A and B are shown apart, each in its own frame.
Chain A
Amino acid sequence: MSLESSFESSLAASQALHLPRAGRQAPPPEAAASAPGLSRGALAGLLRFAGLLALLAVVAFFAVRVPSFLTPGNIGLILSQSAVLGILGLGLTLVLITGGSDVIRGGIDLSLAGTLGLAAAVFATLNQAGYGDAACVAATLATGLAVGALNALSVTWLRILPLLATLAVMNICAGLELVLTENTTVPAAAPLIDALNLAGPFDLPVIGLVLVAAWLVLAVTLRFTPVGLRAYAVGGHPEAARAAGIALNRYVAGSYIVAGLLGGVAGILSVAFLNAATSGSADMLLPVIATAFLGRMFSRRLVPSVTGTLLAAVFLGALANGFQLLHVSSYWVNGIEGALILAVVGVTSGLAQRGARP
């Protein structure tokens, strides 16, 4: 397995070898990280610290420079601005967990941004056609599920390389979206959209709360159920997982299907956030990938984790929001994001190498 991975991810893979034997009631992977030895554990703690430190530094910087940054209203705004990106990132994270995070041969879902666009188009088109909320939501989620199922089928049954299969599916989704919207903005208005834009408990907008809820469900499932442990085993050490009697394909397929469903949810949220289905959802692809991979830097062992992805999405959202409040030209935002990603990745991969070589 480690030979198969690319230069750097082989390091992550070699760490993944310390995954407890699947099937046994072992502690979840995150908790088991300290098992191989104290020094590794201490270093691992430092790694997690590096990602969080960057996040805290950014938050502190903005909080000092802009007094309104840490107000509940603005935090809610950051959450709802991060919601679509975060939900898609969570989906990709699941695929990375069961597929292994080798970009080329492991799991990846390039179709998520396409799913978002198609789902949003389905929702807005049906809404314009006069269907009620329940029908719109059902059709949108079904669209997401169908895309996810197509990905799952291609990857597990037809054995097409995930990178390529989801690339083709992305094209299909983008095409179908154009067929539905004819490349125009389709407005949408519905009671559901109003409800999603309202402030819920803690003064947080409901859109942001949906992100938090999705994270909570996935985090609890992955951490406290056998399903979570097995999912990590399938991606981290497939041979051991197979030997332990885990149906690999079922987990891999499941991750693509749930990712597709989350794509459908993201579609609804994006229509709610923008009050319309707009073109240009394909631009979300690279930020989604950045979020899921940046999320690895928040996990102690540099594995994909839903909590890390949530933090990464909020991190990127806070950056964009903070710069906006500082009146920094939006032209800078992408570059600074890129530089920060590189800085965080550079520091953590440097530390990881030192840790991985005994």
Chain B
Amino acid sequence: MSLDILDSRRTAAPDLLRFGVPLALALVLVVFSLLAPGFLTLSNIVGVLVNNVALAAIVSIAMTLTVASGGTDLSVGTAVDLGSLAFVSTIIAGQPVWIAALIGVLAGVGTGLFNALLIAGLSITPFLATLGTLFIGHSLQQLTTDGGNPVYVPTGSIPPALAFIGHGSVLGVPLALWLVAVLAIGAWLLLAKSRFGREVLAVGTEPQVALYSGLPVRAVLAFIYIASAAIASIAGILISANVNAYVPYSGNAYLLNSIGAAFIGTSLSRTRRANIPGTLLGVLLLGFVSNGLLLIGWNFYWQQVGSGLLIFLALLLAFTGRRDTA
């Protein structure tokens, strides 16, 4: 039996197949730039990166960490929302923006701590633990917003720092993209280049072996879920700064696409592990597909069908010929 595991897990995918997702992305770029004249312009690409990619990328980076550790974090959206709620409430209470941002991230850390307690402390499967957190977070938001009413920062008193986080740019590059770059590089260094990252991947691929080898499995898992929620809460802060408000449950919109991006990204790795570059490619693919369909004039409803179909085709490219999915 264990021989089979070794076979299925270690069999390196033929190199050609690893290029399925980059190939799909290239194809999407070529096809849409032929079909839609405005697609391959600098302003459109920056627009896609800022509007469709940045926030999804941050949430997906968070998701990648938990997927690499062998789990999933269904409560990333909750961390986004609670971060946003704490951020906006603190600003409305008259505190400086940097304190509000700190408290927003702390709300994320709190969410992650709760997950860590369930997963590392009580040994509940990550999937179910974070599902529970998601439900509880939903209630928490309903209770604090009287059933889901948005909380606005009064338009007269928007601090300049808030506007800067939402719309500012440094050296001509929007702040959101800088944040994505910093988080992506940080998470990439952590996962791919550090000793801790190897421990995370060990816990993710062979939990029993990791345990018997004396790795601090619980501590690794606890850290990963706290980090995931903290990163997600940064996305929440960005969303609030963008719209000067906290909109309940808005974070959940990123959940499924972040799972999709993280797993599409695994096809980039020879050993099918979650990795940051792959995840970013996945996010780009999803973002450009929806933008391209919009530009060629598909209405919103058909865009959904189209992006579903295109993702499906991308998966086909990434998975066909593999025999290790069963």
| In contact, B326 and A238 (Cβ under 8 angstroms) | yes
| In contact, A8 and B136 (Cβ under 8 angstroms) | no
Interface residues of B in 91-127 (CB under 8 A from A): 118, 122-127
Residue of B nearest to A103 (CB): B127
| In contact, B135 and A337 (Cβ under 8 angstroms) | yes
Binds A, one of B140-148, B164-172, B176-184: B140-148
A165, A173, A346: the one contacting B315 at CB < 8 Å is A165
- 12 A-B pairs in the complex with CB atoms less than 8 angstroms apart: A7-B71, A10-B207, A154-B312, A158-B316, A159-B325, A161-B263, A163-B259, A167-B260, A169-B308, A182-B301, A334-B138, A342-B129
Contacts of A154 in B (CB 8 A): 312, 315
* B209 touches A (CB below 8 Å): yes
* A53 touches B (CB below 8 Å): no
Residue of B nearest to A287 (CB): B135
* B67, B71, B203, B221: most-surrounded residue (chain A CB, <10 A): B71
| In contact, B74 and A175 (Cβ under 8 angstroms) | no
- How many angstroms from the CA of A342 to the CA of B119 in the assembled complex? 11
* A289 touches B (CB below 8 Å): yes
* A178 touches B (CB below 8 Å): yes
Interface residues of A in 337-355 (CB under 8 A from B): 337-339, 341-342, 345-346, 349-350, 353
Contacts of B16 in A (CB 8 A): none
Interface residues of B in 281-326 (CB under 8 A from A): 300-309, 311-312, 315-316, 319-320, 322-323, 325-326
B71, B135, B217: the one contacting A341 at CB < 8 Å is B135
B74, B203, B206, B259: the one contacting A286 at CB < 8 Å is B74
| In contact, A159 and B136 (Cβ under 8 angstroms) | no
* A307 touches B (CB below 8 Å): no
* A171 touches B (CB below 8 Å): yes
| In contact, A335 and B139 (Cβ under 8 angstroms) | yes
Main secondary structure on B side of the interface with A: helix
| In contact, B124 and A331 (Cβ under 8 angstroms) | no
- How many angstroms from the CA of A353 to the CA of B123 in the assembled complex? 9
| In contact, B131 and A286 (Cβ under 8 angstroms) | yes
| In contact, A332 and B143 (Cβ under 8 angstroms) | yes
| In contact, A171 and B308 (Cβ under 8 angstroms) | yes
* B2 touches A (CB below 8 Å): yes
| In contact, A175 and B303 (Cβ under 8 angstroms) | yes
- How many angstroms from the CA of A6 to the CA of B210 in the assembled complex? 12
| In contact, B320 and A159 (Cβ under 8 angstroms) | yes
Contacts of A238 in B (CB 8 A): 326
Contacts of A6 in B (CB 8 A): 70-71, 125-126, 207
Contacts of B221 in A (CB 8 A): 7
State the Cβ distance, B217 to closest chain A Cβ, in Å: 7
| In contact, A331 and B147 (Cβ under 8 angstroms) | yes
A175-B303, A339-B132, A350-B122 known; A167+B256 contact, CB < 8 A? yes
